[in-house]
Amino acid sequence: MENIRGGFVRIILFGLFAIFHLTCYSESITINVVPDHDNWIYNTGENVIFKVSVLGDIHKPFSVSYEIGLEKMSAWERGSFNTSNKEFVINGGSLEMPGFLRCTVTITDGNIKKTEYATAAFQPTEIAPTIECPEDFHDFWEETISRVRQVPLDTQLTLIEDKCTDTYNIYQVSYLNNEYKNRSYGILTIPKKNGKFPAIIRFPGAGVHPLGGNLAIADRDIITLDLYIHPFPVLWKKEFYDNLRDSPYIDYKFWGSYGRDSYYFKRVISGCVKAVDVIFSLPQFDGKNLASWGSSQGGALSIITTSLDKRINMLVALCPAMCDFTGYLHGRAGGWPHFFNQENIKNYKTEDVLNTLPYYDVVNFARNITVPGFYSWGFKDETTPPTSFYSAYNVIKAPKHVFIIPEGQHRIYPEQTEKTNQWILDSFQK
Contacts for 417 with CB less than 8 Å, ≥ 6 apart: none
Q: What's the CA gap between 209 and 218, in Å, rounded?
A: 21
Q: Is 322 exposed, middle or buried (0-12, 13-18, 19+ CB in 10 A)?
A: buried
Q: What's the CA gap between 116 and 31, in Å, rounded?
A: 6
Q: What's the CA gap between 326 and 320, in Å, rounded?
A: 15
Q: Is 143 helix (H, G, I), strand (E, B) or coil?
A: helix
Q: Residue 95 gets which letter from DSSP? A: -
Binning the chain into helix, strand and coil, the percentages to the nearest 5 are 30, 30, 40
Contacts for 39 with CB less than 8 Å, ≥ 6 apart: 404, 406
Q: What's the CA gap between 415 and 412, in Å, rounded?
A: 8
Closest CA to 86 of 112, 58, 114: 58
C-beta of residue 75 within 8 angstroms of C-beta of residue 69:
yes
Strands across the sheet with 77-83, in order?
41-42, 112-122, 99-109, 62-70, 77-83
Q: Residue 415 gets which letter from DSSP? A: H
Q: Is 18 exposed, middle or buried (0-12, 13-18, 19+ CB in 10 A)?
A: exposed
Q: What's the CA gap between 310 and 186, in Å, rounded?
A: 21
Q: Is 140 exposed, middle or buried (0-12, 13-18, 19+ CB in 10 A)?
A: middle
The rounded Cα 248 to chain-centroid distance in angstroms is 21
Residues marked as catalytic: 296, 381, 410
Q: What's the CA gap between 429 and 290, in Å, rounded?
A: 10
